[in-house]
Amino acid sequence: MLIGAYGTHWDRDVYEWNRVARRQLLGERYGEVVDFSAARGIYVLHRGPEIYYVGLTIEYGRMSGRLSDHAKPTSRHSGNWDAFSWFSFDGPGEHVDPPGFTEVDDDWDHYDLTIAGAAKGLEAILIEILAPSGNRRVEKHGDAERWDQVHTFDWSNKADRRPRG
């Protein structure tokens, strides 16, 4: 399948806070915290309920870089979005970095992607983001899991991987 992990409608203000703390895309699922900063994939900038901008990054380490670029005061996009969604080609890996966060797996070798698989992945992304009223079923992203945005984190104990809030 096309997508390894995803998060939808993450708050830009929380992203800005995490960016200052040097962790830009912290996702949580069942107590595990993953840093998706280095992920590759598709991202969507939201302005309220609208989709404002769609982008792609295929270079490892650029998902957070692209979001940072769009958040800079000098960017034409800076004041035009308040939330974002992301769909990573990379999933959580096995490696845990020194602060205790799992990193994304950048090994493209695990993909067995066909045209049909890519098309199904694209359809699932569009249905997830656009939520068209004619689609009754929720599309699956293969084995990909949805990750919740970490809103706050206890940085005083970096070995503590439990998000707060």
pLDDT digits (tens, 9 = 90+) for 91-138: 887 777 766 777 787 765 555 667 777 788 788 888 888 888 888 766
Sign of the CA dihedral running 28, 125, 37, 84: negative
User: For residue range 36-71, what is the model confidence (pLDDT) as tens digits?
Assistant: 888 888 999 999 999 999 999 887 668 888 898 899
Length of the chain counted residue by residue = 165
| pTM, 2 dp | 0.80
Q: Provide φ and ψ at 84, rounded to 5°.
A: -150, 155
Q: How many distinct structural domains can be found in the chain?
A: 1
Q: Which domain holds residue 108?
A: 5-164
Count of other CB atoms within 10 angstroms of residue 104: 27
